[in-house]
Each structure stands twice: as structure tokens, then as C-alpha cells.
Amino acid sequence: MSTLLRARLSGKGVYAITDGPRDDLFAAVEAALAGGARLLQYRDKTTDAARRAREAAELATLCARHDVPLIINDDVALAQACGAAGVHLGVQDVSIAEARAILGPDAIIGTSCYGSLERAKQMRDEGADYLGFGAMYPSTTKPHAPVTTHDVLTQASQLGVPVVAIGGLTPDNARSVIDAGADFIAVVSAIFAAPDIQAATRRFADLFDARPGIIQ
């Protein structure tokens, strides 16, 4: 990973994740970025390739304007086409090596580790730039996802790769996963289903800004 991208992952903060098509997508993302999101993931599981390509290209421009990396969920080809900073891979997606071959050495490639430290170690060794764990709490986005213990975050924080916690996070419970070792808190509905997206994002961001000793 390039020095620039490594620096953009070396801090801590909010990882905002979109969820499916919405008419006000760009305004919603703009609000999340204004609220202090440090990473943005475009997550859209529909099969409307043309719309997804248009949206991803616009989001890449928007994120560049805010100097926030855009990560594309699952779709390496879309990440390449829109010039995104990287891609997020699940267990059924292509390998990190395949994604790296397409996106290049500077891409941010993150991966879902669910609740598995063994998978986390394997993904780290294969070159993952961050490790995602969850669900930390019952999640409306993935209601059937098993809940992961906070202790997994603490152990994963020793692996030398940024740790991302996801699943059911709210401003009231997210501090506990930060204290357990999460570098980033990934949030979907608690941001993008909020009546005031910017304010909701800021509430999460303030959990980091208020912590002593953390350089933003």
C-alpha cells in the first residue's frame, strides 16, 4: 500500500457504508462526509450495472473532493472502472491477490473476518489492509449475522492491521467496541437511515474526537 493510503488508514474514525439505491444518494453521502466520515463504502447489491457505474463514478469524485477514500463493496471491476481507492471483499468474493492484481499495489483492500481470528490472520498474511469484524450487535442490515464478542477485537488489534467493527452500532454502544480495539466503526443504518445524516455521523465521530491521546 502506498504511503499516502497507509496514512489515510492510520487514524481512527467512522466508516460510513451506503446500503442500496436511494434517490438522494449523493446528498446523503455528502452529509455523511460533512459529518466527519473518514472512509466511505458504496454497497449496492442490486444488478443494475449501469446505475451502479454512474453512482460509483459520482461518489469517487465526491469522496476525492473531501479527501476520503471510496471503497467499493465486493465489485473489483467497478472499483477499477470508477477509480475508487479500493474494494471490500467477503468470504465468497475473489481473493486479495486477484483484487490486488487488478487494482494495483496502492489499492486499499479490506476483508470481512466475521468473528474468526484464524481468518483474520490468514487475510493479514495475504495482504489485507484492514480486517472487518461483526456483527458486534444484532444488525438490521444483516439480521441473520452471528454476533461477535468484543474480545475478538482486542485480540485482532494485536495483528498489526487496522480493525473495523460493524453491526448494530449506535452512538450509545459504539464506544465499547472502540475501547475493545476497533480503529474504525462501520455504520450503515444508524447513519443513512437517520433523519439528520450529518448530525448522526458527527455523533459517531465525536466518540473518537473526545478520546484523549488520539491524533486526528
What is the three-state SS of 76-109?
HHHHHHHCCCEEEECCCCCCHHHHHHHHCCCCEE
Indicate the angle between helix axes 25-34 and 197-209, nearest 10 degrees.
Answer: 30
Q: Is 211 a catalytic residue?
A: no
Q: What is the DSSP letter of 144?
A: T
User: 72 near 41, Cβ under 8 Å?
Assistant: yes
Q: Which of 12, 43, 52, 202 is catalytic?
A: 43
Q: Which of 12, 52, 100, 112 is catalytic?
A: 112
Collapse the DSSP code of 145 into the 3-class scheme (helix H, G, I; strand E, B; otherwise coil) and give the result: coil
Q: Is 45 a catalytic residue?
A: no
Name all domains of the chain by residue range, CATH numbers in brackets: 3-10+40-186 (3.20.20.70)
Q: Which of 8, 22, 119, 142 is catalytic?
A: 142
pLDDT by 10s per residue, the chain, length 216: 555 555 668 789 999 999 999 999 999 999 999 999 999 999 999 999 999 999 999 999 999 999 999 999 999 999 999 999 999 999 999 999 999 999 999 999 999 999 999 999 999 999 999 999 999 998 887 788 889 999 999 999 999 999 999 999 999 999 999 999 999 999 999 999 999 999 999 999 999 975 444 434
State the Cα–Cα distance between residues 186 and 107, nearest whole angstrom. 19
